[in-house]
Structure 1
Amino acid sequence: MYMKWIIMIPPLLTLYFSARILLNNLRYDEAFLGMLFSKMDETAILISVFAVSMILFSATRVMDLIDLFWPIPGNDEIIAALIWLIDIVLVYIFYRVATVTVPGEKNI
């Protein structure tokens, strides 16, 4: 019974960490970008991983549109699994950005 709720963890964490990024941006207005881009190597990797995850997300949307016109058996399960994996990647990306964009004396 409780195992059904475990699939909700990545989407909820994605929501939480993206909200933390927004709050960090509002709270540390001028320092936000400075903190983000002071670690250029890490930021470049995060942006690259984010771009790949968005390409995969867009592919799932295209798969959904194709499924509207030409139903493919098992397509919905593949799309759901891909979106769940993308959520896990987004949790990592948003967590790293949220921790990078907060001043050193504060922790999340």
Structure 2
Amino acid sequence: MDPLLRDALSRLDRGVLMPLAYIRRSEPVGWELLDGAHPEDRAERQDLVYSGESVLVQRDGDTVSKVAFGAAHGDPELVERDRRTLARVRSEHRSCNSLTGESP
């Protein structure tokens, strides 16, 4: 993965990056979607998303298009926040390069 992309993604809020997650249940056996729609699931979703572990965000046959976010769905705040994050990462990268004499 491109180091700039990795750095930009590492700065994004995992809760925004993963608006939904699946958790494996033993009773009943299967996968349960945690999307924050049910107040009783919100704490569990937060724990899962911020655990640092791998998180399943799409199952076979599912489409992520069920989740509405970004410019295509009228969420300019999210798009603007991501744009600012990317601009900051690029600026910091240029600053680091100017200290080492490397070209960006």
Identify whether the pair has TM-score above 0.5, normalized to the shorter chain: no
Higher helix share: 1
TM range (shorter): 0.3 to 0.5
Higher strand share: 2
